Structure 1
Amino acid sequence: MTVPPGLPDPTPSPGLPSRVTIVEVGARDGLQNEKTPITTADKVRFVHALADAGLPVVEVTSFVNPRWVPQLADAAELFPAIEQRPGVRYPVLVPNERGLDGALAAGVQEISVFASATETFAQRNLASTLDDQFAMFAPVVGRARTAGLRVRGYLSMCFGDPWEGRVARSQVVAAAARLIELGCQQISLGDTIGVGTAGQVRALIGDLVAAGIGVDRLAVHFHDTYGQALANTLAALQAGVTVVDASAGGLGGCPYAKSATGNLATEDLVWMLDGLGIAHGVDLGALVRASTWMAGLLGRPSPSAVVRALTPPPD
């Protein structure tokens, strides 16, 4: 596989950032809902390949109860086995204080917590109410910050909820503000079921900024259920966001929201950024090879359009 020379043609567009940080979530969010077991050794190889492709942030796993997410039951063994590359950050997701204990014991330096912007998803995903989830996260974030860890807050269902329908922007802003108050240094806005559109993205970011949450504190996390992930990402970039979550090969889904399909494919994002002349530091060819290898382990082709375009069909 070789990337066609000169393609895409970098054509900068006014009003866009000069550089974007890609948060690669394939090894955690991408694999968490997969039924095909992936060995710890193969997960280590996958994380190494993603880091070697130039991705600056590679989310490794989640220290979650294995009964909830069996695919990630090996977190305590996986994280210490990673040979960390210089300049690469390796965050993990923790759902509660017990998860934080495991992460600290494994030597983690960066964590994320996963909150909901809606009542129903908080109940189904966290067995909590919308309000009580913040009380649950408070000691996790506080202890992590005291230990010197960087803390990110994922905020799910920011644009639509499969049970509640449309989500009011004011509701999302209020939840994001509470995560900031707890001590989260960055908020990743999640379109968990992929129903958001570019206009919604621009409006929500505008409301967050008006509420005092600057774009430097925001990231975006789009699913591609309705094919809107790239358009929504471009809208976020136009609004000043410079951190974008993506998953190698378009892997992903949510075990608690069946309508949530794959994440924005990292390769598709890189292709768009290259076309806009936006720096990101990722070697597209190396990334495609890593995604193709993982797709082979899972026994199906990658859903990424760019991976399909750049991977020759078998003889």
Structure 2
Amino acid sequence: MTARRPTAIDIVEVGPRDGLQNDSRHLSTEAKVEMIAKLAGAGLRRIEAASFVNPKRVPQMADAEAVLARVVDLPGVSVSGLVLNGRGFERALAAGLREISFVAVATDTMAARNQGTTARGLVETWAGIAKRAEAEGLFRSVTIAVAFGCPFEGEVPLARVIEIARALAESGADEISLADTIGVATPLAVEERFAALSEAVPGLPMRAHFHNTRNTGYANADAALRSGVTVLDASLGGLGGCPFAPGATGNIATEDLVSMLERDRVATGVSLELLRDATLWLEGEMGRRLPAHGAHVSPWPRVLAA
């Protein structure tokens, strides 16, 4: 039995990080800063702005510090960065972040491709980072990647995901996210996995990260809300993908998610009109139309002439 939808949720905008990290078009530092400012202006209060990774592996994130120096103190916004190891954490700390995201991976093959270690090795890495982050007063968000399916190992046992979640929570976390990295989740799988997560780590806020690879991302987002999730990730324009997961495509689009939620009377605090404007601006920067629909349809409800 799933829970009713909440009356309000938080959206974490991941476009500046997940949206741009796998794209062949490299935005300038100035454009990234403008993108983040537009997102904050639209009402997004949690923005994942960069990742602290090897620039040789993910060149799109090579200017992480330069971007963060311009946006870390945006009023009313929690700007976060993705860290994958101790070195990344040191960089995040030096950049003045008050919130970090960490990715653990549910399979060894993906962990090796993404972070050069094993699933257990990532849990151990998090244990060291979590304690230091707590001492520094940082908000700690942990994501379990390929929680619904792996591009290399296929189906991922629920028991493995829950075992990892318990270990991550024991080390210290302020929220845990399950990520559908390659877009294979279904609403039933979402309900089952978040029900199990809620039972395994009772009281810990749950977050969800969906890709729309197979056009199920929005149905999965709704299923997550009905399952007790209070935070959803989304990316402006529907940009996104993982550099180390073959075939991974864009995240659910922020504007399309907000449109759906507001119609369902789930408050987001985000201006759909300003998101539309931001997407059209971003399409100009990227030189192409983006996957989201919201910027290219008439606003709703529309008042018809008598």
TM-score for the superposition, normalised by structure 2: 0.94
The one-letter amino acid of 2:193's match is L
Match for residue 11 of structure 1? none
Match for residue 121 of structure 1? 110
Write out per-residue CA displacement over residues 258-278 of structure 1, whole angstroms, 9 at most, x where no aligned residue.
221000101110011111111
1:78-97 matches, within 5 Å, as 78-82=67-71, 84-97=73-86
Cα pair 1:176 1:187 within 8 Å, conserved = yes
Task: Find the aligned partners of 2:131 and 2:287 in 1 and give their Cα distance.
Answer: 42
Q: How far did residue 68 of structure 1 move?
A: 1.6
Match for residue 258 of structure 1? 246
Which one of 98, 119, 137 corresponds to residue 126 of structure 2? Answer: 137
Q: Equivalent residue of 1:286, what SS? A: helix
Cα pair 1:177 1:213 within 8 Å, conserved = no
Please state if 1:194 is matched with 2:180. Answer: no
Match for residue 224 of structure 2? 236
Q: Equivalent residue of 2:131, what SS? A: helix
TM-score for the superposition, normalised by structure 1: 0.91
Q: How far did residue 124 of structure 1 move?
A: 0.9
Task: Find the aligned partners of 1:159 and 1:88 in 2 and give their Cα distance.
Answer: 30
Which one of 13, 16, 23 corresponds to residue 24 of structure 1? Answer: 13
Structure 1 segments (4+ residues) deviating >6 Å: none
Q: How far did residue 80 of structure 1 move?
A: 1.0
Identity of counterpart residues, as a percentage?
44
Match for residue 9 of structure 1? none
Please state if 1:181 is matched with 2:170. Answer: yes
The one-letter amino acid of 1:260's match is A
Task: Find the aligned partners of 2:60 and 2:275 in 1 and give their Cα distance.
Answer: 22
Cα pair 1:158 1:172 within 8 Å, conserved = yes
Q: How far did residue 83 of structure 1 move?
A: 6.3
Match for residue 302 of structure 1? 290
Please state if 1:75 is matched with 2:67. Answer: no
Q: How far did residue 310 of structure 1 move?
A: 4.3
Task: Find the aligned partners of 1:237 and 1:258 in 2 and give their Cα distance.
Answer: 28
Write out per-residue CA displacement over residues 17-70 of structure 1, whole angstroms, 9 at most, x where no aligned residue.
010100000000000011212111110000000001001101110111111210
Q: How far did residue 307 of structure 1 move?
A: 2.1
Unaligned stretches of 5+ in structure 2?
300-306
The one-letter amino acid of 1:58's match is I
Q: How far did residue 89 of structure 1 move?
A: 0.8
Q: How far did residue 188 of structure 1 move?
A: 1.3
Q: How far did residue 180 of structure 1 move?
A: 0.9
Write out per-residue CA displacement over residues 236-279 of structure 1, whole angstroms, 9 at most, x where no aligned residue.
11112111000011010000002210001011100111111111
Cα pair 2:107 2:146 within 8 Å, conserved = yes
Task: Find the aligned partners of 1:101 and 1:38 in 2 and give their Cα distance.
Answer: 25
Match for residue 217 of structure 1? 205
The one-letter amino acid of 1:30's match is G
Cα pair 1:61 1:75 within 8 Å, conserved = yes
Q: How far did residue 94 of structure 1 move?
A: 1.0
Match for residue 7 of structure 1? none
1:54-69 matches, within 5 Å, as 54-69=43-58
Task: Find the aligned partners of 1:64 and 1:141 in 2 and give their Cα distance.
Answer: 18
Please state if 1:274 is matched with 2:274. Answer: no
- CA RMSD of superposed structures (Å): 1.4
Match for residue 279 of structure 2? 291
CA gap of 1:205–1:72, structure 2 versus 1, over 3 A, is: same
Q: How far did residue 81 of structure 1 move?
A: 1.1
The count of corresponding residues between Structure 1 and Structure 2 is 297
